[in-house]
Amino acid sequence: MPALIFNINPDLYLIFLNKKMELKPFLEDVLHNEKSPQDAVKSSLLAYHSGDGGSPEIHEFEIAECFYNSESNTGKVKLKYKVFFFFGCSGIKRSDDGTETCTFKIDAAEHKLTLLITDHIMRDTVDEF
126 domain-assigned: no
Number of domains the chain contains: 1
Q: Is residue 127 part of a domain?
A: no
The reply to whether 62 falls in a domain is yes
Q: Using 50, 70 and 90 to split pLDDT, how confident is the model at 64?
A: very high
Q: Residue 92 sits in which domain range?
A: 3-120
Instruction: Kindly state whether residue 93 falls inside one of the protein's structural domains.
Output: yes
Contact by Cβ (8 Å): 85, 97: no
Whether pLDDT at 72 is above 90: yes
Give the predicted TM-score (pTM) of the model: 0.77
pLDDT for the residue numbered 53:
67
**Confidence check: pLDDT of 123 > 60:** no
pLDDT recorded at residue 70: 92
Confirm whether 108 is domain-assigned: yes
Higher pLDDT, 54 or 71: 71
In eight-state DSSP terms, residue 69 is E
Whether 129 is covered by a domain: the verdict is no
Residue 78 resides in a domain: yes
Q: Give the whole-angstrom CA distance, residue 10 versus residue 19.
A: 14
Using alpha carbons, list the distances in angstroms from residue 78 to 24, 51, 69, 115, 126: 11, 22, 15, 11, 33
pLDDT at 98: 84
Q: Is residue 102 part of a domain?
A: yes
List, for residues 7-59, the tens digit of each pLDDT value. 999 999 999 999 999 999 999 999 887 665 557 777 777 776 666 766 777 77
Of the candidates 57, 25, 28, the residue with the CA atom closest to the CA atom of residue 42 = 57
